[in-house]
Amino acid sequence: MTNALLAQFIPEARELLERAGSGMLALEKAHSTEALDEIFRAVHTLKGTSGLFDIAPLTNLVHAAEDLLVEVRAGKLTLEPEIVDGLLDSLDLVGHWIDVLETREVLPDDAEAAMSGRVVALRGWLEAGGPAAAANAADSQAAPDWLGALPEVERQAAYAAGAPLVAWSYEPDEACFFRGDDPAHLVAQAPGLVGLRVLPRGPVPPLEAYDPVLSWLRFEVLCAASAEAVSEHLRYVSDQVQVSPITPEDLIVLEGPEDDAEVFGDFGARARLLVATGARAELKAAAAGLLGIIGPATRQAGALRWIAALSATAAADALLRLVSAIDGAAPGTAPTGPAAAGVTTAPPPAAVPASPGAETPLRQRAEAILAAQAEMLAVPVDAALNAGRLESVRTVVRRCLRHLAPPRAEALSAALARSGDAAALLAVLRDAADVSPAAAVAPAPKVAQKPAVPAAALPAGPSPEAAESGPGTGPARMLRVDQAKVDTLMNFAAELVVAKNGLAYLAGRVEQVSGSRQLGREIKEQYAVIDRIAQSLQVGVMAIRMMPVSQVFQRFPRLVRDTTRKLGKEVELVIQGEDTEADKNVLESLADPLIHMVRNALDHGIETPADRVAAGKPARGTLRLSARQENDNVIIEVADDGKGIDPEVVRDKALRVGLITPDQAAQMASEDFVNLVFAPGFSTKEQVSDLSGRGVGMDVVRSAVRKAGGDVWLASRLGQGSCVTVQLPLTMAVTRIVTVESHGQQYGVAMDAVAETVKVPQRQIHRIKQRETFVLRDAVIPLVRLADSLGLGPAEGAPPDEEAVMVARIGRERVGIVVDGFRERMEVIVRPLDGLLAGLVGFSGTALLGDGRVLLVLNLPDLI
């Protein structure tokens, strides 16, 4: 990825989405202010950070979600399951976009359309929440910039109609006539149509070359109707329209050349008095009188026409804003804000706007934002970051342009046009700051610079907020490091652990060759020191990679919720031991198998509420996900209290598909049958469902787990439930092995697999049919000769009186493996076989010994 800023944004966004998602589920169960705050912070931070990139649909969607959360937090809206669904779906969409961003660095083409649909849905709930909420929602989204182009009379009519108002643009696609669309008819039938402009989308083709079957129009429409009604009307062309709810104030767009006649000052003073005294008729007359003597095309004339049109109906503060726009000291200011600090002292106290924050002059805010950008640009960074930073600053500046005074906006757009020139942009930005010192001292910029920086501050992020809030403001100081770097460190640590083994070998050599026991002992002492340090280093690096199992578990509340809703079942998810830690790679390899298992449990295991009640169980099933550490393993269990697996059914099915022979079936215990579900191509459920049961699930689970060096097995009691247990090594980097000898060759065996080592006298070895067995503490254990398994041929000379037997655990079976002898224990890095050796069965890899020899490490399950 070329944009380093974006590369940082992506993992951060994912983390925020995850936090928001899990918070949402917690919130649905029980109302908790903390969870709500957490979601809000996550969504808010995401919105803020996303603004740095050119991904407006994402920002808008997150913004809509945030607005909804604001209402929930204020207690104006209750979090219904449907709303949670909507929010989760929106977050999913954002997550999908993040994935696309990661690969393509741009949003998918349909993002805009997908966004508007979601936003309308989210805003719909807002509006349902109450009129106050509706006003807020409309407020928070920027009005489309073409509003000012609509005829003034139509805008005034819409203003008179009042909220809800919707502005939408519609660009029927070129081929729409072929589908039978009549765009003009669709527009004409729109609910509450009050304003309309039709214009060509691009250059109009000349008459000679004109093709009458292609559409090339763009409609800009103003409707006095709710956003849902409009969206419903446009549902078949939703990919071609953009719908934005607006407030009546958005309609007052004043354009035209400035007229600086002194007469406006007099009018302003008089008009304020008239507004304060409520003499609306006189106000209208005064406006009309002034209109008669000035040019109709000026900005002031526009404002006067608005005053004349609204004088009878509008609220006092709206009129005062228009008056300020006429005589204000800050021409060009967006008309929704009172002009400047000096002028706002004039209106009577009654007219002071209720919410000062919303009324702060937009220009001052824009100034403050620009000043912050200048500051940020001035901080030196390396080239990789610089490109992304410059891009984000350019985006921010571009967005500020329309709120700035025209000469400065021109200077800035000129600087923007010279792409890549950071110094020039910085110079112009700084100029801008100097031109308006008022902006720097006014209290407004502080508000603007810190739009409520979330308590959980961004981790050393690239945003202007983070640049401003120095180090130590976050709750914990975190370091975001590329996993590859930690992996490299881990590899070196592991190499060191192995290399130090060479010292022990060297000490032995010194004693042998030079006969100096003293020197040998000193080397051994040094070895002990290095050993200790290497161990600590390894533990330390491993701790970096250790992650709590909750990282994997946290997606399950959502999965269980969605799946059970789909299946019409009721399931309580119990999660235990989520603090258990395991290596990141191990956890990642576990994620997909776990999803399979949980889906299986929900789909096949737990019954419908009716069936459960009939079976005398509580209607609500329980799914237990638990994790714990056992020695060097993580044990993860997925247990349900559902109907369990019928071993008879499994046996019949296995016989039918030929997985086992009747002879084998006769020898198997019932718990062996249930474990047949892990065999490839086995699915107990006859019917393939949308969720699981395609006959690949458990097979895939087992191969994934085995690949990660673990094992999986299943226990089930008919009618009472099933429990799938996954055992995985804590870490995959360094393996403890024991070396065994057979025919003069040494082989490694992972220590985890070895239960014990025993000497078995020849006479205690019995033959049962083809197999040799022996009895260990009242249990019959089958024997396998390693030399036979490896095809090394029979041993020379007389068999020894006692056989060295390694009792190994394979799954939950115990098997005795006859070897010639045991050698040493050591820690090695097992390197997988690749290249020509990749196909070799029976070996899990190779390891390098201290003396430089290569050791083959056995994969016992393959051999037996």
Partner 1 sequence: MPLEQDGTTLRLTGHCPVEDAEPLLDVLRATPDALVDLTGAAWLHTAVLQVLMVAAPALRGRPDGPVPAACLAGLPTTAAG
Exactly one of 205, 257, 443, 799 binds partner 1 (CB under 8 A); that residue is: 205
Distances (CA, A) of 344 to 283, 339, 341, 436, 630: 19, 7, 5, 18, 71
Judge contact between 798 and 810, C-beta under 8 A. Answer: no
Q: Give the footprint of partner 1 on residues 605-624 (CB under 8 A).
A: none
Nearer residue to partner 1 within complex by CB, 211 or 778:
211
Nearer residue to partner 1 within complex by CB, 185 or 763:
185
**How many amino acids of this chain bind partner 1 (CB under 8 A)?**
25
> Least Å distance between CB 185 and partner 1?
7
Q: How far is 708 from 418, CA to CA, in rounded Å? A: 53
The closest alpha carbon to 167, from 131, 193, 130, belongs to 193
Exactly one of 174, 182, 421, 482 binds partner 1 (CB under 8 A); that residue is: 182
Chain centroid offset of residue 705 CA = 25
| DSSP codes, 279-311 | -HHHHHHHHHHHHHHS-TTSHHHHHHHHHHHHT
| 771-803 CB burial, b ≥16 within 10 A, e <16 | ebbbebeeeebebbbbbebbeeeeeeeeeeeeb
User: Which one-letter DSSP state was computed for residue 639?
Assistant: E
- CA quadruple 310, 311, 313, 316: dihedral sign: positive
Q: Which range in 188-196, 662-670, 678-686, 795-803 contacts partner 1 by CB under 8 A?
A: 188-196
Q: Give the footprint of partner 1 on residues 830-849 (CB under 8 A).
A: none
Exactly one of 14, 96, 197, 653 binds partner 1 (CB under 8 A); that residue is: 197
Contact status: 208 vs partner 1 (CB under 8 A): yes
Contact status: 187 vs partner 1 (CB under 8 A): yes
> Least Å distance between CB 170 and partner 1?
11
User: Tokens at residue 598, please?
Assistant: 């949980």
For tokens 């360094």, what's the residue?
734
> Least Å distance between CB 155 and partner 1?
14
> Least Å distance between CB 66 and partner 1?
36
Contact status: 174 vs partner 1 (CB under 8 A): no
Exactly one of 160, 193, 503, 665 binds partner 1 (CB under 8 A); that residue is: 193
Longest dimension (CA), the chain: 126
Q: Which range in 162-170, 210-218, 287-295, 851-859 contacts partner 1 by CB under 8 A?
A: 210-218
For tokens 């961003």, what's the residue?
101
Amino acid at the residue 718? L
Judge contact between 264 and 289, C-beta under 8 A. Answer: no
Q: Give the footprint of partner 1 on residues 212-271 (CB under 8 A).
A: 212-213, 215-217
Nearer residue to partner 1 within complex by CB, 188 or 312:
188
The closest alpha carbon to 202, from 211, 212, 215, belongs to 215
Judge contact between 272 and 320, C-beta under 8 A. Answer: yes
Q: How far is 791 from 733, CA to CA, in rounded Å? A: 30
Nearer residue to partner 1 within complex by CB, 206 or 470:
206
Nearer residue to partner 1 within complex by CB, 184 or 613:
184
Amino acid at the residue 317? D
> Least Å distance between CB 244 and partner 1?
20
Exactly one of 132, 210, 664, 800 binds partner 1 (CB under 8 A); that residue is: 210
The beta strands (E) that lie in 179-276 are given as 193-200, 217-223, 241-246
Nearer residue to partner 1 within complex by CB, 215 or 336:
215
Judge contact between 722 and 640, C-beta under 8 A. Answer: yes
Exactly one of 184, 381, 610, 840 binds partner 1 (CB under 8 A); that residue is: 184
Exactly one of 104, 185, 763, 767 binds partner 1 (CB under 8 A); that residue is: 185
Q: Which range in 62-70, 191-199, 325-333, 652-660 contacts partner 1 by CB under 8 A?
A: 191-199
Binding mask 134-173 for partner 1 (x = CB under 8 A): --------------------------------------x-
Q: Which residues pair with 816 in a beta bridge?
A: 783, 807
> Least Å distance between CB 236 and partner 1?
15
> Least Å distance between CB 585 and partner 1?
59
Exactly one of 2, 30, 109, 207 binds partner 1 (CB under 8 A); that residue is: 207
Exactly one of 132, 153, 175, 188 binds partner 1 (CB under 8 A); that residue is: 188
Q: How far is 607 from 609, CA to CA, in rounded Å? A: 6
> Least Å distance between CB 221 and partner 1?
9
CB atoms within 10 A of CB 121: 21
Nearer residue to partner 1 within complex by CB, 6 or 176:
176
Amino acid at the residue 717? R
Contact status: 347 vs partner 1 (CB under 8 A): no
Contact status: 202 vs partner 1 (CB under 8 A): no
- Interface residue list for partner 1 (CB under 8 A): 172, 177, 181-185, 187-188, 193, 196-198, 200, 204-208, 210, 212-213, 215-217
